[in-house]
Structure 1
Amino acid sequence: MRRLGDPFDDADDRSWRAEFLREEQRQDRIEHLGRDVGAEARDRKEVDRAGQAAEHAATVWLWTSRHSANLESPRHSHGGLTLAHTVVIGGGICGLAAGLTLAERGQQVTVLEAQDFLGGLATTLRGATGAGYDFGPHAYHARNQRVLDMFKEIASDGFPARAKNVRIKFRGKYYKYPLEALDIAKSMSPFLAARAFFDYSLESLRRKLRPRPLVSAEDWVVQAMGRTLYGLFFGPYTTKVWGIPPSQLAASFAQHRIPHISLAKVVLSSLRTGRAKITGSEHRYAPLVIELFYPPKGAGLISERMAERIRRADPRNETRTNTLVTRVEASGDRVTAVWVRRVPSTRKAGQLAQLATGRENDGNPYHGVDAPEERIACDSIVNTAPLPALVDLLGDAASAEAKAAARHLRFRAITIVGLRIKRPKALPAQSIYFTNKTFNRLSETRNYGGSEVCAPDETILLCDITCDVGDEIWMSSAEALGRRCAKELADEGFIKESELAESVVLRATFGYPVYLVGYERAIDTLMSELMRFDNLVTGGRQGLYKYVDMDIASEMGISMGEFLLSGKMKKDVIAGVPYEDRTFA
């Protein structure tokens, strides 16, 4: 038997392959010729890329048609060729990006989503009057030009850019976010600055004479900035957001998520006046975002149109909602099928959605649902469900070590309180972070560019609250949380409580991955375990257990699709790539 992707020997195979490639490339050129002239150069590159991908896809399909006896999966005909079938678990933006990559290269794709909508956290849900509510401020930005170009093409009828304008209330005043040295300096008295300088000097000396291993986020912040600054802001705020003290979070969390601020700059700035003050924080792992894009109709427009393109690519492609994956079937080191059942909507009494895996001990909205299971055979699986849930779905195909490692990973739940306010504008910024409110972040959709999510004389405010499943926030009604948040906003002078017209909640059991001390060992175990399955890939914020934004999640989805199209093995692609640099596992 020839290896997948090897050249074919007989004339019949070559004839089918050439005919298929000519048709695919002709269709690609017709599609691209319909685009605007300004994109002509990019389109020529796309035609070449599509041709190369189609060539590989033809090889895969012909190989599959000739060696399908022991590959138990449904395949459909495409001009005499049989197409590989990929199941995507999770209809969020990462899963949709993967599905779109595969579908527009000719593969059969079935996207499975437990909710009654697609988009996951990157969605816009409608309230009683049709006003749109996001899962927090999901504006688009991209460090990867290819991803940004994809977003712009999908929302070509309206995807305006706006300068980033985010603030934080710190020690009673509003500053730019993330905090910069100048802002911290402004809030400090000379006495406090002297204490911070002493702590910083002590830590600098300690690093040189007796360096200590950095185990926790507290270790990292204290050694980088000193105990005073840690206690002033980073310690209390991190505890509020994540629900545990920084001493229980891994040092890599702080390294990746907290800007490195030079204490020398802070102290010098506090002792100077006027233009002599200096500023600047160093972002080691997050390049500065200065421009944001947002569709006027809501962030969920991108996900909706990606799903439409998947279905349009082939009539056999499906994006199935209200469909919960209950288990993944495997034979040896290959996944062969998924089992699913129909589940009801999670929308009820002011709650627009509750995202969940169905594997939770607490907060499982599908508990007790016993609809019959359905088996969907497939050639490959793209997973974007939370990594621990994937291990659980694999059942006996996963090792005991992998199951133990998965139990070490946990997520912080989120509750978004959406408020429809009877005034056209409420905030002086797109988003504002708070350290002393029920919510961590307050956002106004209109200020991001969402001019059509509600009536012109109204506005939508989103209050992000991190919480734990089953706690007071999680159990409170939309009405109670709406009144509570409206009062706090009125206290800040942003609105009047009487202007509250509607309140809703959007919830997720898996909002943010929590980087507990020691999580790296669990991740290493799971990365090794998943190397066994070449036709199973996992990615995204939940699926790869990485706190990433929508642009990187989309890039992960594209990478997973391209890997499956390549016909390569994981050991040849990602075996030598550190976890931090991986886009899938």
Structure 2
Amino acid sequence: HIDYPLSPANAVFGMGLAQTGAILLDYGKEKFTNIIRPRKLTSLEDWVVSQFGRTMFNLYFKNYSEKVWGIDCQNISKDWVSQRIDGLSLWQFIQHSLVRLRSNRAKTLTDTFSYPRMGIGQLSDRMSDLITARNSIKTGSVVERIFHDDGKISAIQYTNTGCAHIIKGAGHNYISSIPVTKLIEKMSPAPPSRVRSAAAKIRFRSLVIVALFINKKKMTDLTWMYFPGKDVPFGRIHEPKNWSSDLAPPDKSHIIAEYFCNSDDETWQSSDEIITESTASRLQQLGFFDKTDLIDSRVLRIPFAYPVFDLHYRKHLKIITNYLEKFNNLHLVGRSGMFSYLNMDQAMESGILAAEKVLLKSKREETVPASDVSFPCHLLQPSHS
């Protein structure tokens, strides 16, 4: 395997002298061509080739990106890759690998990060404690209808534990992380046909997570491992114990495999037993553990995991957001709510900013509650979250 961030010895050893030379030569050729004859960058392929060269694109980026998104790299907008590895190029990778202590290195090349001792769920658990002290969270809820009138959201109809409920109030603020396509679908009266048509033309990629619990103290020393090749069905694995030793017993561990898929394809439709067996078998072939080491497993299916940035998503999304901006008590947050490829910290920040906007509006209207008075709120949480 090849380390990320790159280390010179590992990169050369992993790819070989001939391939390393071809990558460097191709990168230099690409940069020279761009100086002489600059070209418009539209797709993911355009952007990566310009920043890393054709050889590096074919070696890694093409296969992995198409595994993630399920479409050809020529049809993926450069917006995605430029957001994820903004400002990076092969030259910057090389610089970082030679001078590890640079203080101005790109964030995506960081060697360390902070992580909650008992897992990322600690953040939501703490938020839950704070919210339920004065308000309510209704897990397992399904929003059925979103009513609106005169430029305001006026009511939410939802079901919880089989019972129908409604929250009314045009004077309320509504913060939505519902996939924006579902938001449009559930609005009543229905949005104009142009808006509904735009919503039908943007889509999300889904995620299947397979957790395998293993009777081994440790399997890797890695944060993540990526598999661009088509011979491996999953795209990425990680061993949570490497993030925090408290996430598994001292003598055991678990490994997480991620499958990128569509909600109507074979991967999503496979039974838990079939996808678990396939995952375990491939990881055993790769030498991570023996068949007798497998203790237990769990499969999670996450719809609406990744907004798909194809070449036309911007124009469709603009129609949707222009319509939703007319509702001054509706605030979109999160990756699926905003149809934006946000990192977790950015998604959380979008919620904080929405809350600040609501509180600032209340203050302007001189209705901001005192610190000892609860601010009325209900959190509707779908069962898959």
Shorter-chain TM band: 0.7 to 0.9
CA distance in 2, matches of 1:283, 1:394: 45
What pairs up with 1:130-529 in 2 under 5 angstroms?
173-175=1-3, 177-179=4-6, 184-258=11-85, 262-263=89-90, 278=98, 286=108, 288=110, 290-296=112-118, 298-313=119-134, 317-342=135-160, 373-378=164-169, 379-396=172-189, 398-436=191-229, 437-449=232-244, 451=246, 453-529=247-323
CA distance in 1, matches of 2:2, 2:10: 9
CA distance in 2, matches of 1:287, 1:188: 20
Amino acid at match of 1:439: F
Amino acid at match of 2:168: A
CA contact (8 A) 1:265 1:279 kept: no
CA RMSD after TM alignment: 2.8
Deviation at 1:415, TM superposition (A): 0.4
What pairs up with 1:35-50 in 2 under 5 angstroms?
none
CA distance in 2, matches of 1:301, 1:555: 17
CA contact (8 A) 1:265 1:278 kept: no
CA gap 1:382/1:433 in 2 versus in 1, 3 angstroms: same
Any idea what SS the aligned residue of 1:503 has? strand
CA distance in 2, matches of 1:284, 1:519: 27
CA contact (8 A) 1:409 1:519 kept: yes
CA contact (8 A) 2:199 2:316 kept: yes
Any idea what SS the aligned residue of 1:415 has? strand
Deviation at 1:283, TM superposition (A): 7.0
CA contact (8 A) 1:413 1:508 kept: yes
CA distance in 1, matches of 2:332, 2:111: 27
- The structure whose Rg is larger is 1
CA distance in 2, matches of 1:429, 1:210: 41
Unaligned runs of 5+ in 1: 1-172, 270-276, 344-370, 570-585
CA gap 1:331/1:283 in 2 versus in 1, 3 angstroms: farther
Any idea what SS the aligned residue of 1:405 has? helix
Any idea what SS the aligned residue of 1:292 has? coil
TM-score normalised by the chain length of structure 1: 0.56
Deviations 1:56-93 (A, max 9, x none): xxxxxxxxxxxxxxxxxxxxxxxxxxxxxxxxxxxxxx
Deviation at 1:480, TM superposition (A): 2.5
Amino acid at match of 2:153: V
TM-score normalised by the chain length of structure 2: 0.83
Amino acid at match of 1:534: N
The residue aligned with 1:36 is none
Deviation at 1:500, TM superposition (A): 0.7
Any idea what SS the aligned residue of 2:280 has? helix
CA contact (8 A) 1:325 1:340 kept: yes
CA gap 1:525/1:329 in 2 versus in 1, 3 angstroms: same
Amino acid at match of 1:467: C
Amino acid at match of 2:53: G
CA distance in 2, matches of 1:246, 1:568: 46
Any idea what SS the aligned residue of 1:328 has? strand
Deviations 1:377-427 (A, max 9, x none): 131210011111112222435333322222222111100001111123222
CA gap 1:562/1:511 in 2 versus in 1, 3 angstroms: same
What pairs up with 1:54-133 in 2 under 5 angstroms?
none
CA contact (8 A) 2:5 2:111 kept: no
The structure 2 residue matched to 1:565, chosen from 351, 355, 359, is 359
CA gap 1:445/1:522 in 2 versus in 1, 3 angstroms: same
CA distance in 2, matches of 1:180, 1:525: 45
CA distance in 2, matches of 1:458, 1:193: 38
CA contact (8 A) 1:248 1:516 kept: yes
CA gap 1:550/1:188 in 2 versus in 1, 3 angstroms: closer
CA distance in 2, matches of 1:194, 1:308: 56
Q: Percent same amino acid at aligned positions?
A: 29
Deviation at 1:254, TM superposition (A): 1.6
CA gap 1:435/1:399 in 2 versus in 1, 3 angstroms: same
Deviation at 1:288, TM superposition (A): 3.3
CA contact (8 A) 2:30 2:53 kept: yes
CA distance in 2, matches of 1:518, 1:283: 32
CA distance in 2, matches of 1:395, 1:202: 56
